[in-house]
A and B are shown apart, each in its own frame.
Chain A
């Protein structure tokens, strides 16, 4: 028996006619829709992060020892620490007023002024692709946990094509990106095909393929022909300049990849909502028996979907190598595949949501770097912040309870996310 009926709102429900636009807007804002919950989750994470910062700083903590006699000391120190840290987070991620005024005075460069945004977008670029790879698969009912392996294969294929081929500029880049896409697609095809043919669960197979891809990369960069002949450690030859993604002048690192990421987001949004394949994958995602009864091939959809998802993650890996890293190392893909899972979760498996979530992640990362250099707060705290955001987002009921939000149907992510299993 289901008893999960939301508490009925008071009977004197005001009709929409009585409300002006502003009240309606505020009402909607304060109802527990996905955007509100997401924003409040970020806010809660910052609050908890602030507490952690204070607790982990021994100097500030020492002032709390005599809190009862002079509370202003402890409060002042805490406030300085927290406000400084979050100000740095913002300055490192978006813009620093000081460097802007320096640019206008002529004492600074425009590169310095736009440095933070550039860093944010650089970190965000691969995450957009790996996030989309998780999001689109999820819309089709598959839990693609293999984004990491697919991104690594994208790095491998894109990177090798980047230094092994000798092609004119432009063409070389396109070929290298295409190779990255194919590498990822191949790594997505395997779990998709196994799922369609044998019912093997994609979570298991794609996790295993993550290890396979990472270890393959580790082996490959030590082989002659791939390894940099002038180095003895595990590092590959450098990508030919003809295959590099065009970037803004140094020291800015942001490159054409972010434009590709936006294009990919638009393409995925179109694919999901407007294409015949998108119709199939959405139907298969929520009700495979009905899709099958209506004549769709669930097996074909699963396979194709994993190929598309893998291709996206592969492109993400390729932009990392061709845009940021310029050579293959064992750690070239970093954690972009796994971060993609969180980005997709944060973006609620919607393409544009994923894009914004990736930028937020990039911002936390870029701002975290400054926080570490400037105030000496460890980068791990940024990771903790990211984790907290995800925890709050995954528990919309908790956020709603904390802020006494009115019930809205949309904030049921927790339930929908666990359906992949």
Chain B
């Protein structure tokens, strides 16, 4: 659907006094933002700060309670995304809106199909396909129009979403947390695409909470906290300053810790082979040791077997061959319950799926793996008194921000949900602590807290295994880093090794000379 507007008129967007309330909660409180043509404008804020609500109003998904939207100085009311698109505003959602079994061209045409044959309304697939290719070439966004979307990697699917928006002739593109699902390489590609789009005169609103990306790509940064614009900053503002603006207080992005004092070998893995759900080899001969009082970080792009490795250790996935030993005792064939109770703490990577039961209260979630052990209960009955008393204590100790311990976990922010998981796993004597993506989707303030808890656990003499696809996190926490690639540990290196070299290892490039202190295989 071609709109009648001229192609190359630059778009200047102004939001004035946008206010949105949900009941007593003021999600947006008189927000003013101006996006100049050809500008990459970053909207920075923690989870729940009101960024997505604001953009949903701009895109016609929610009506604002107050305030106005001006496009090129003209006040507009968007009743649906269709109106927004007609005014030249496109949006790429965090969760893609693609039909997996359709081809790329079909997905892009969806909702704006080219029709021929007049009243017959025959789909003009050839013209659709041609449009896709034209847009794709024009903006340097390679997509294969005939590929099925379900076969594409996440980065490519996102490119399809962007091309889809661009074929609608939009001049302003909203990208909602676009890098949350991307690998570091894909993120770099996306940032480059954003820059080149801006150079062709398109404006981009980039919603994120990742400081590094903001600094790399934005022309201007608006920081939102609790529904208000707190600052408009230039990209040369330091990360610490931006973080402080976002959170509202000074935060330390560095993990502060003393050198580790490694003790005995707690976890010993040798020759471990594990398959994924489809029966494809995911972990292909891994050897690892984690000592008491040290943090071993596993770095790697997601999907290189880290998930399966961790699941095999805690007994959630069958071990094909190889040995997993906890203090010289084999864990093979033991149930997850038994493994957890023998002193293993486990923070799963997918918090909302595996970490918490959202319908349960905070108190119930805090005993999710201890409900049938004294003092919380026994094999037959629960002891609500002990559960509630302990919960009240944990809520204070771990700074869980909730109205009460009986509130359901689903009502908490991501960071506080994760604190519930951390509190649960760290409230019993541990020998081994496994933290998988411990701060994914967690706000800056909570990240700091969770990191300090992990280091605290290490200093108590627990062996800690941290898996993260955020290299910064691994480098910050770990005393040794194992780089995982395609189911193998390519090297175990020191966190002092330059980031670029670790990055190369993550991409599977081992280089000529071994740079690590000890080389696996």
B23 within 8 A of A: yes
The reply to whether A1 and B93 form a contact with Cβ atoms under 8 Å apart is yes
The reply to whether B316 and A293 form a contact with Cβ atoms under 8 Å apart is yes
Return chain B residues, CB-CB under 8 Å to A275: 380-382
What per-residue 1/0 map shows which CB atoms of A1-27 lie under 8 Å from chain B? 101011011010100000000000000
Return chain A residues, CB-CB under 8 Å to B335: 295, 297
The reply to whether A289 and B354 form a contact with Cβ atoms under 8 Å apart is yes
Select the stretch in A30-38, A278-286, A320-328 that faces chain B.
Answer: A278-286
What per-residue 1/0 map shows which CB atoms of A350-383 lie under 8 Å from chain B? 0000000000000000000000000000000000
The reply to whether B357 and A287 form a contact with Cβ atoms under 8 Å apart is yes
Return chain B residues, CB-CB under 8 Å to A290: 353-357, 368
- B residues 37-59 with Cβ under 8 Å of A? 56
- B residues 17-71 with Cβ under 8 Å of A? 21-24, 56, 61-62, 65
From A279, which residue of chain B is reached at the shortest CB distance? B371
The reply to whether B368 and A294 form a contact with Cβ atoms under 8 Å apart is yes
A296 within 8 A of B: yes
Return chain B residues, CB-CB under 8 Å to A293: 314, 316, 336, 346, 348, 354-355
Return chain A residues, CB-CB under 8 Å to B62: 3, 5
Return chain A residues, CB-CB under 8 Å to B338: 295
Select the stretch in B358-366, B389-397, B465-473 that faces chain A.
Answer: B358-366
A198 within 8 A of B: no
Whole-angstrom distance from the CB of B304 to the nearest CB of chain A?
21
A274 within 8 A of B: yes
A68 within 8 A of B: no
Return chain B residues, CB-CB under 8 Å to A44: none
- Within the complex, which residue of B24, B56, B377, B379 is in contact with A1, where a contact is CB–CB below 8 Å? B56
B464 within 8 A of A: no
B97 within 8 A of A: yes
Report how far A279 CA is from B356 CA in the complex, Å: 14
A203 within 8 A of B: no
From A291, which residue of chain B is reached at the shortest CB distance? B357
- Within the complex, which residue of A5, A6, A8, A283 is in contact with B360, where a contact is CB–CB below 8 Å? A283
The reply to whether A279 and B357 form a contact with Cβ atoms under 8 Å apart is no
Whole-angstrom distance from the CB of A135 to the nearest CB of chain B?
16
The reply to whether B61 and A276 form a contact with Cβ atoms under 8 Å apart is no
A292 within 8 A of B: yes
- B residues 175-213 with Cβ under 8 Å of A? none
- Within the complex, which residue of A6, A274, A276 is in contact with B372, where a contact is CB–CB below 8 Å? A276
Return chain B residues, CB-CB under 8 Å to A283: 357, 360, 368
The reply to whether B56 and A276 form a contact with Cβ atoms under 8 Å apart is no
From B355, which residue of chain A is reached at the shortest CB distance? A290
Question: Assuming the A-B contacts A275-B381, A276-B381, are A287 and B358 also in contact, with contact meaning beta carbons closer than 8 angstroms in the complex?
Answer: yes
The reply to whether A8 and B65 form a contact with Cβ atoms under 8 Å apart is yes
Whole-angstrom distance from the CB of B424 to the nearest CB of chain A?
9
From B379, which residue of chain A is reached at the shortest CB distance? A276
Q: Which residues of B contact A (CB under 8 A)?
A: 21-24, 56, 61-62, 65, 93, 95, 97, 314, 316, 335-341, 346, 348, 350, 353-360, 364, 368-369, 371-372, 377-382, 384
**Can you offer 26 A-B residue contacts whose CB atoms are under 8 A?**
A1-B56, A3-B56, A3-B62, A8-B22, A8-B23, A9-B23, A13-B24, A274-B381, A275-B382, A276-B379, A278-B382, A279-B364, A279-B371, A279-B377, A279-B382, A283-B357, A286-B359, A289-B353, A289-B354, A290-B353, A290-B356, A292-B316, A294-B340, A295-B336, A295-B337, A297-B337
